[in-house]
Amino acid sequence: MTAFELSRDHEDFRRTVREFAEAEIAPHVAQWDKEHHFPTDVVQRMGELGLFGLTAPEEYGGAGLDPADGPFTSLCLAIEELGRVDQSLGVTLEAGVGLGINPILTYGTDAQKERWLPDLVAGRRLAGFGLTEPGAGSDAGATRTKAELDDGEWVVDGAKQFITNSGSAITSLVTVTARTGTSETGRPEISTIVVPAGTPGFVVEPAYDKLGWRISDTHPLTFTGCRVPAENLLGERGRGYAQFLATLDDGRVAIAALAVGLLQACVEQCVAYAGDRQTFGGPIGRKQGVAFQVADLEVMLHASRLLTYRAAAMKDAMGTPGGPSVRDFKHAASVAKLYATESAVTGTRIATQVFGGYGFMEEYPVARFYRDAKILEIGEGTSEVQRMLIARGLGLPVE
């Protein structure tokens, strides 16, 4: 497989996920969105399909794919196809793997992996990643949540916000970043700690009333004297910030894939509507004012897809002989995330315009697409952060 061409196996896998999304999600998504309903049963069926285990080894119930088979590319394809039908369930998978499974898989001890991964990989349970706070998001160094060692336990105090998969009926844990001391340079020492669901002092606050992604599970969290064993430290003490940055690199490509799914849906909806909607004795797609907008959508879709799967292929090839460097992958991830997500915001605006007044009505999916798109420019690193990272990658001394 090259960076620009999917393998036959990948295309077959794409069709499998699309069929699942069309059958299990599409008939219900409008009602779920209206009710802010998180369909636990469908998420677990996604697990039965193997979607949460695409990047995990067989010993924990995962697919055990060789890097040459493109496991990360497969995950991005699954996210794209889910996102084509519903962005909320697409991000449920993205966060469930990228923010839930991968930190434990990458940094966890054998005991932590054996305890948590089998259920997470199977999709029986979900995990969240508690990073963002009321005063700390992109500036993770401003973290105020604290964790202190006391008699062999971490005592966690603080608050997190906008945490995906953190309060569902099948959430098993949240990994949180916390200040665990001060480094030799005087900067806060940030570590990551696993907090199981139901731990005394860990409170999942009521779900947000969101503009978009209404089906996904998102909550603020509070921790008050929350005690967990010292062995719940994830990875090396004081390396939580570095772990968080590495986790976000993968997530940026996955969010780009989510944006690609949204653009694909916009193109399909606009082509169908512009071919059927009649004005002045013919379909509106005959008018250049409409046709050219749909053509622009198609260009944004193809460019976004190529950038996204180039970055995904680089991720799969990292660590192999002659593979890309971490620096090259990070740069490609930011480029894909920036372009694809901003294209999705523009694309959903175009789609809503093509539909005219009907695009403003919730009975048409483009209204939901429009609401769902904006968060893509914010989550997993804002557009501003991506521009900063891209400029730094070019050698510019941007702050």
Residue 252 burial class via C-beta count within 10 angstroms: exposed 0-12, middle 13-18, buried 19 and up: buried
Q: Quick one: which H or E segment has residue 388?
A: helix 383-393
How many structural domains comprise the chain? 3
Q: Quick one: which H or E segment has residue 160?
A: strand 153-164
Is 324 within the bounds of a domain? yes
Q: Is 132 found in the same domain as 121?
A: no
Give residue 216's pLDDT: 98
Is 223 within the bounds of a domain? yes
Q: Is 170 found in the same domain as 78?
A: no
Q: Is 168 found in the same domain as 272?
A: no
Q: Is 267 found in the same domain as 162?
A: no
Give 4's pLDDT tier (boundaries 50, 70, 90).
low
Q: Is 264 found in the same domain as 223?
A: no
Helices and strands per DSSP (H, E), number in the chain = 12, 10
Q: Which of 19, 363, 380, 399 is catalytic?
A: 380
Domain boundary among 237, 257, 284: 237
Measured CA to CA, the distance from residue 114 to residue 134 in angstroms comes to 33
Q: Is 99 found in the same domain as 158?
A: no
Is 184 within the bounds of a domain? yes
Q: Is 191 found in the same domain as 151?
A: yes
Q: Is 270 found in the same domain as 171?
A: no
Give residue 244's pLDDT: 84
What pLDDT, in 10s, does the model give residues 366-388? 999 999 999 999 999 999 999 99
Query: What single-letter DSSP state applies at residue 217?
Result: -
Domain boundary among 103, 126, 149: 126
Mean pLDDT of 175-182: 95
- pTM, rounded to two decimals: 0.96
CATH assignment at residue 155: 2.40.110.10
What pLDDT, in 10s, does the model give residues 269-297? 999 999 999 999 999 999 999 999 999 99
CATH assignment at residue 346: 1.20.140.10
SS3 of 336-384: HHHHHHHHHHHHHHHHHHHHHHHHHCCCCHHHHHHHHHHHHHCCCCCHH
Q: Is 260 found in the same domain as 227?
A: no
Selected residue with higher pLDDT from 75 and 2: 75
- Domain limits at 231? 127-237
Mean pLDDT of 44-70: 97
Measured CA to CA, the distance from residue 297 to residue 346 in angstroms comes to 9
- End-to-end Cα spacing for the chain: 37
Is 2 within the bounds of a domain? no
Is 1 within the bounds of a domain? no
Q: Is 138 found in the same domain as 87?
A: no
Chain center to CA of 338: 14
Does 5 participate in catalysis according to the annotation? no
Domain boundary among 126, 147, 178: 126
Give residue 247's pLDDT: 86
Mean pLDDT of 325-334: 96
- The structure tokens listed for 390 are 């891209």
Is 399 within the bounds of a domain? no
Q: Is 232 found in the same domain as 245?
A: no
Q: Is 199 found in the same domain as 90?
A: no
Give residue 187's pLDDT: 87
Is 372 within the bounds of a domain? yes
The mean pLDDT value of the chain amounts to 95
CATH assignment at residue 109: 1.10.540.10
